[in-house]
Structure 1
């Protein structure tokens, strides 16, 4: 049943193809949701879709990608498809994203900012465990580099 719901969300979506436009649309989406723009550092994007009515988004890339967020020393793995239901400052029912905790990969199901003034972003797993980090750790690395040079 869940896959039928997801499929119907795809049917009425804005869909973009090609790395350049997909990267631009993913950054616009994160900005629109008031989430840090470096949260989804995907490469070789082939498709981005967004159903505004249902709040469903998906991003497809050619290959899986691992990315290390240097400021928090965390490795995150992004599958070839990442999807979520989105709303302001939140991604729910997230699929395709895992964080390395010690020796294990933990699936992430929620990303949210409860209080923007706190400067904190929380990542939750399907088991109910969560971790909170500084929002600044997920800025685009170009932006972070520019800030450190000034």
Structure 2
């Protein structure tokens, strides 16, 4: 069931199809000064943006799990991700979780301070946060996250061999 009400959809710019959604998500991230690898861009079927409130959503058919090699963090992206974008941040996020030890922690806010230090901070409920270099979430010219993000299913296949 979708979290996006028809009332919200009627106020939004809505895009459908992987190619147009990929470009629109990249554009939105660039306009808000967030790294272009923050949201996996493959297989997004629908995205929307309500400019007056900053509300955004991204939909894909199934959840996506990634392990970032340089941090060792496993991140899970739900089939539907929502949040509110503003300059240098996305807040009130739903649909993104990071595994810390054996516990899954929801990511509720992501921000890049207006400083030249090149850091990005991920906040969880109860004041927990992690800070990383922004470069870990940048996509190169061929569309790959610079940190060599590996799809979890590919890791399972490698272990079977």
Task: Name the TM-score, length of structure 2 as normaliser.
Answer: 0.81
CA RMSD of the aligned region, Å?
A: 1.9
The 8 Å contact of residues 136 and 145 in structure 2, kept in 1 or not, is answered as: no
Alignment-derived partner of residue 37 in structure 1: 36
The 8 Å contact of residues 123 and 130 in structure 1, kept in 2 or not, is answered as: yes
Alignment-derived partner of residue 82 in structure 1: 81
Deviation at 1:115, TM superposition (A): 2.9
Helix, strand or coil for the counterpart of 1:127? helix
Task: Name the TM-score, length of structure 1 as normaliser.
Answer: 0.87
- The answer as to 2:146 corresponding to 1:144 is yes
Which structure dedicates a bigger proportion of its chain to helix? 1
Deviation at 1:7, TM superposition (A): 5.6
Alignment-derived partner of residue 123 in structure 1: 122
Distance in structure 2 (CA, Å) of the matches to 1:75 and 1:24: 25
Give unpaired runs (5+ residues) of structure 2. 148-161
Aligned pair count reads: 142
Distance in structure 2 (CA, Å) of the matches to 1:10 and 1:90: 22
Give unpaired runs (5+ residues) of structure 1. 146-150
Alignment-derived partner of residue 47 in structure 2: 48
